[in-house]
Structure 1
């Protein structure tokens, strides 16, 4: 009885802390949504109200789509994120399988290098990647936005941890059936590790959809700009930022990510926690 009485306040405190943290995270998004439906005269008023006195959402969202080719920016984001994710899975899955199920010299050293690569921010490599892109002649192309992210240390680590939870007997049985190592990867391991693949896909898409630093360096043509870089078209050095359409454009850009995460959240949780079993 005493344990139950002690557990109940702890549960309440835990849920209260989670609700408070969730509210802090959602406040910027709520403010962004509010500003996207506010007229210019109400954005900088002294008192804050989520719902404006004069609804200006239609004008802001219409201007967000018309002032800059926002739909083109989002299409660029879809093309770049899809290509990056497909290539990352094509590279990370065999690499993760080799580190998880194959025995060869220096395997542990290679895995240690993967862990070290996880600690390096991608911005550190921006200058050598820019020089390499210039030498290859791929700057200001889709290839410049895709090439630097093909190999993902985080993807290798996450998928490798999930592969470790799959019994070795499954791999031995597949080999007895005559499957090659690559066939085992794509026909056995990847389908069994689908939650980890989906979880990594969410991380990858969100990270590259929101990426601004590298696209700012790699591309100049507006027709190639991904969403975050394209939103900068709403900046005006002389007249100031047009915050209403800017926040409307940001809302449109963020909305697909929210919908995708809500649709795949069950697999996301399973994929991120599955590797912790072993």
Structure 2
């Protein structure tokens, strides 16, 4: 009897420990977002007050969110973000899917070397390449244009790696059958491989959109025209070095910018998890 209860008790303690760690980790991740939301509905006197409270004594959300939408063209910034992210994602899929198919299903000399180059590109942070990319953008006359925000991200090593890992799980017999039906290699990519890799496509789309929607470093370098600014750069209009940061409208604008990403992720989280784990099945 005691021998049977001991494993059950150990399993229960292990489960409690895992859940406690997950809850603590989740709380640490959510705390900055909850604090941002709290500041977005507080008046200035409570933002800099000595007392600590998440819910304000005086609700100031209408004023802060109204100023966020009127004192800066926030909707224009968000429209720029949608346009830039959509074009980047479309071009990345157009480039990465065929490259991943070549590395996953075709046999040729130098394939491992090319895959190694992809892995090296995956390890290099984008900031390392910012100086040569900036000089290239200047020489091509792309500064202060949408093209400057788009072209450095057309080729995504992460996208090639993710699609390649997922394509590896698709049986070669599927590819051979498609060839016997007369499909070209490009037709196999778009009509066979990519539809079967839909979870990976959705997972990559989420990564790509979140990464470029939140990108501040590169737009800060190449864009000066306010009409071209993406959301992270646009909301810096509430930052004033002389008068101080206007934290209420700034947090309200940040909340409005983050909210579409949260909603999109919650809607696609099942596909996201499946896409990230599918390449490890083989």
TM-score normalised by structure 2 residue count: 0.98
| Deviation string, structure 1 residues 155-213 (Cα, Å, up to 9, x no partner) | 00011000000000000000000000000000000000000000000000000000000
Question: Which of 209, 231, 244 matches 1:205?
Answer: 209
- Matched with 1:96 is 100
In structure 2, what is the Cα distance between the partners aligned to 1:276 and 1:16?
27
| Deviation string, structure 1 residues 9-39 (Cα, Å, up to 9, x no partner) | 1111101100110000000000000000000
Q: Secondary structure at the match of 1:151?
A: coil
Alignment of 1:134-213 (within 5 A): 134-213=138-217
**Structure 1 residue ranges, 4+ long, deviating more than 4 angstroms after superposition:** none
In structure 2, what is the Cα distance between the partners aligned to 1:277 and 1:48?
48
Q: Secondary structure at the match of 1:139?
A: coil
In structure 2, what is the Cα distance between the partners aligned to 1:258 and 1:48?
26
State whether structure 2 residue 265 is matched by structure 1 residue 267: no
In structure 2, what is the Cα distance between the partners aligned to 1:97 and 1:47?
58
In structure 2, what is the Cα distance between the partners aligned to 1:70 and 1:55?
22
- Matched with 2:22 is 18
Shift of 1:47: 1.4
Question: Which of 57, 60, 63 matches 2:64?
Answer: 60
Between 1:148-157 and 1:1-10, the stretch displaced more is 1-10
In structure 2, what is the Cα distance between the partners aligned to 1:209 and 1:113?
27
In structure 1, what is the Cα distance between the partners aligned to 2:34 and 2:81?
24
- Matched with 2:122 is 118
| Deviation string, structure 1 residues 27-69 (Cα, Å, up to 9, x no partner) | 0000000000000110011111111111000000000011110
**Consecutive unaligned residues in structure 1, runs of 5 or more:** none
Shift of 1:4: 2.6
Question: Which of 83, 86, 97 matches 1:82?
Answer: 86
Q: Secondary structure at the match of 1:140?
A: coil
In structure 1, what is the Cα distance between the partners aligned to 2:185 and 2:144?
38
- Matched with 2:111 is 107
State whether structure 2 residue 138 is matched by structure 1 residue 127: no
In structure 2, what is the Cα distance between the partners aligned to 1:57 and 1:8?
44
TM-score normalised by structure 1 residue count: 0.99
- Matched with 1:4 is 8
- Matched with 2:245 is 241
Shift of 1:135: 1.1
